Amino acid sequence: MPILATDHAYKLSAGHSIVILIRDAYPINILPRLKEVPEIVNIYCASVNPIEVVFVETKQGRAIIGVVDNFFIS
């Protein structure tokens, strides 16, 4: 799974970002520990649903500005 997380981070190519993928666990189990890390400023998403990352690109690079997490069955 580390290679999969690296692939996602590479596709985003947004500086100062981290991708964490977990299996057989719930995000709520690790969120309190992640919030204790002073280097982590924002957590945009902790979901099992498919997501879309919204980012912007400028002359200085790319930045994540949000995450769309809206899974529904029509």
17-33 per-position pLDDT tens digit: 888 888 888 888 888 99
Number of structural domains the chain divides into: 1
Residue range of the domain that includes 49? 2-68
User: From CA 35, how far away is CA 29, in angstroms rounded?
Assistant: 12
| Residue 63 within a domain | yes
Residue 51: Cβ-neighbour burial (10 angstroms; 0-12, 13-18, 19+): middle
Residue 38: Cβ-neighbour burial (10 angstroms; 0-12, 13-18, 19+): exposed
pLDDT digits (tens, 9 = 90+) for 7-63: 888 888 887 888 888 888 888 888 899 999 999 888 888 887 888 889 899 999 888
Please tell me whether the overall predicted TM-score, pTM, comes out greater than 0.75 for this model: no
- The b-or-e profile of 18-34 (16+ CB within 10 A means b, else e) is eeeeeeeeeeeeeeeee
| Residue 73 within a domain | no
